[in-house]
Amino acid sequence: NAGVTQTPKFRVLKTGQSMTLLCAQDMNHEYMYWYRQDPGMGLRLIHYSVGEGTTAKGEVPDGYNVSRLKKQNFLLGLESAAPSQTSVYFCASSYSRTGRNTGELFFGEGSRLTVL
């Protein structure tokens, strides 16, 4: 049982390049989230999804796009990377319709992105 898996774990981009971060969960969770973590700013929600085919904006969505074509996957895209997007990105999932629900989020190990 892998839980939440993020790829890649590290990436260096040049300004203006595009990339996609992939998040996969094997817990049959309905909800998935993308956060960014920056020093002194805690966790900030970028986008989230409450089910396959649905996405919604979080508190810092600008410059990012997401897709949830399959229930187990949640993709975060940067169309034109900027240095301000240098951060550690975390994917999380929660809530199963059929499983035991205790309300907590399950996090991946993080993806460290540097934009030069």
Sites of contact with another protein (CB under 8 A): 4, 31, 40-43, 45, 50, 90, 92, 94-95, 102-110
Q: How near is the Cβ of 49 to another protein at its closest, in Å?
A: 11
Q: How near is the Cβ of 45 to another protein at its closest, in Å?
A: 8
Where helices occur in the chain by DSSP H, the ranges are none
8 Å CB contact between 45 and 55: no
Is the peptide bond preceding residue 8 cis, with omega within 30 degrees of 0? yes
Q: How near is the Cβ of 94 to another protein at its closest, in Å?
A: 5
113: tokens are 């992105």
Nearest 5°: the CA angle 107, 13, 59 is: 45
Nearer of residues 16 and 99 to another protein, judged by Cβ: 99
Nearer of residues 17 and 71 to another protein, judged by Cβ: 71
Q: How near is the Cβ of 105 to another protein at its closest, in Å?
A: 7
